[in-house]
């Protein structure tokens, strides 16, 4: 059964444009609930800290050490700025199915590496990734948020957001009896965020980052993990002191459609309908309720927004006696997104509801280098730096 056939995936995949952090019951995984508020100036340049040590191998495990194919010299994007988001494809060369039980990124140039995202692309999306790599000049390709490859994005069921890394982060380590299934022919896409603030936006050396995968063959007791992305609309108007043609919602949706195509462009209205709203509700905070349709166990959660995100929360059965907050990131930081492990696994099933709530802040636009020179806009769902998202990505395991 493919990912898009999975009943868990169908619950949330219709409008998701990013997913997934699947690490769960982890010893060594960051478990805090958020990062410091977004600073008023450029990125905090937190690079430079050495990587945390890797935990020893456990029975039945092995390490697979991978590197970018060649060194890459980061450069700022056209139009200025000091940040480059670059995706590189790495072939793990798997000849048999394995379960991924741990991940750690080790940048070669810690002065440039700001953060990283690791994606696993199953065999069905491998050809699209290789085509994107081949047709783009130089090493890899520009990307932001997702892989940027049609046919290998998470919302299409052909990629998984495996892990995030920030300087000093420990290995994301799972317990030995759970893991993500990697089949022969799978690829790894490593998105590196390079920050050139220290060199005033000029190229300043190369990087050949590495990824260490902790693999096991699994046992009859190994539980394969799945993810359920819970999204809410993004309808963030321009700030009171802003004006311009893109401050109109329809004009902004047309702009997203032009940049990313009708599927992404239609997300804003589609989400409003799927969340049971008769019309958009412009404002800083948006919510959406998702009904649980199959028995499953929640292990962890991961909040994803873009640069205007302030906070994200997922609640189980809000307003009922058994209400519980299962994900709470009160101070969201795009550059320090992290998995939040539940204190204990939570069994849920039909009759339960999960509500996702996101708060964005249009005022941050003037304070962030990536956005400060762009025209004001009514922000809707989209894949770009100037667009937004609201997704609570829950790590789950089906229950029979």
Residue 212: what pLDDT? Answer: 95
Share of the chain above pLDDT 70, in %: 84
Task: Give, in order, the Cα–Cα distances in Å from 278 to each of 132, 275, 318.
Answer: 39, 9, 21
Residue 81: what pLDDT? Answer: 65
Mean pLDDT of the chain: 83
Q: How far apart are CA 213 and CA 174, in angstroms?
A: 12
Check whether 46 has a pLDDT greater than 50. no
Check whether 8 has a pLDDT greater than 50. no
**7-21, 30-44, 244-258: which has the highest mean pLDDT?**
244-258
Residue 51: what pLDDT? Answer: 59
Q: 75: how many CB neighbours lie within 10 A of its CB?
A: 15
Higher pLDDT residue, 88 or 197?
Answer: 88
pLDDT tier for residue 156 given thresholds of 50, 70 and 90: low
Q: How far apart are CA 115 and CA 47, in angstroms?
A: 8
pLDDT in tens, 182-240: 999 999 999 998 888 767 677 778 999 999 999 999 988 888 877 788 999 999 999 99
pLDDT tier for residue 80 given thresholds of 50, 70 and 90: low
Q: What is the average per-residue pLDDT within 304-318?
A: 95
Supply 251's token pair.
């004009």
Q: How far apart are CA 66 and CA 54, in angstroms?
A: 15
pLDDT in tens, 365-385: 999 987 888 899 999 998 777
């Amino acid at each position: 059964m493919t990912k898009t056939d999975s009943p868990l995936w169908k619950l949330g995949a219709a409008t998701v444009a990013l997913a997934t952090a699947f690490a769960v019951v982890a010893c060594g995984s960051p478990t805090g609930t958020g990062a410091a508020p977004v600073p008023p100036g450029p990125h905090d340049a937190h690079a430079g800290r050495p990587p945390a040590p890797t935990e020893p191998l456990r029975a039945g495990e092995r390490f697979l050490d991978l590197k970018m194919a060649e060194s890459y010299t980061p450069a700022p994007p056209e139009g200025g700025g000091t940040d480059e988001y670059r995706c590189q494809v790495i072939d793990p060369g798997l000849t048999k199915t394995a379960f991924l039980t741990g991940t750690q990124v080790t940048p070669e140039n810690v002065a440039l590496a700001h953060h990283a995202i690791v994606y696993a692309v199953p065999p069905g999306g491998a050809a699209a990734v290789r085509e994107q790599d081949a047709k783009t000049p130089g090493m890899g390709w520009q990307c932001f948020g997702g892989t940027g490859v049609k046919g290998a994005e998470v919302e299409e069921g052909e990629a998984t957001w495996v892990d995030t890394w920030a300087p000093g982060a420990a290995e994301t380590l799972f317990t030995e009896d759970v893991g993500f299934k990697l089949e022969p022919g799978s690829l790894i896409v490593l998105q590196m965020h390079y920050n050139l603030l220290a060199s005033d936006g000029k190229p300043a050396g190369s990087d050949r980052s590495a990824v260490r995968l902790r693999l096991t063959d699994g046992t009859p007791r190994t539980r394969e993990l799945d993810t359920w992305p819970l999204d809410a609309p993004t309808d963030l108007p321009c700030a009171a002191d802003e004006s311009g043609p893109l401050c109109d919602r329809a004009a902004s949706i047309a702009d997203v459609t032009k940049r990313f195509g009708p599927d992404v462009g239609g997300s804003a209205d589609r989400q409003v309908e799927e969340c049971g709203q008769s019309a958009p509700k412009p404002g800083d905070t948006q919510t959406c309720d998702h009904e649980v349709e199959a028995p499953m166990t929640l292990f962890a959660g991961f909040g994803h927004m873009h640069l205007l995100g302030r906070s994200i929360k997922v609640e189980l059965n809000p307003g009922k006696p058994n209400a519980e907050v299962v994900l709470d990131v009160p101070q969201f930081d795009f550059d320090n997104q992290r998995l939040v492990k539940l204190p204990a696994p939570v069994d849920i099933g039909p009759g339960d509801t999960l509500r996702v709530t996101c708060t964005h802040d249009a005022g941050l636009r003037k304070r962030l280098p990536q956005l400060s020179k762009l025209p004001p806009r009514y922000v809707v769902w989209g894949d770009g730096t100037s667009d937004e998202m609201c997704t609570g990505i829950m790590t789950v395991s089906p229950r029979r």
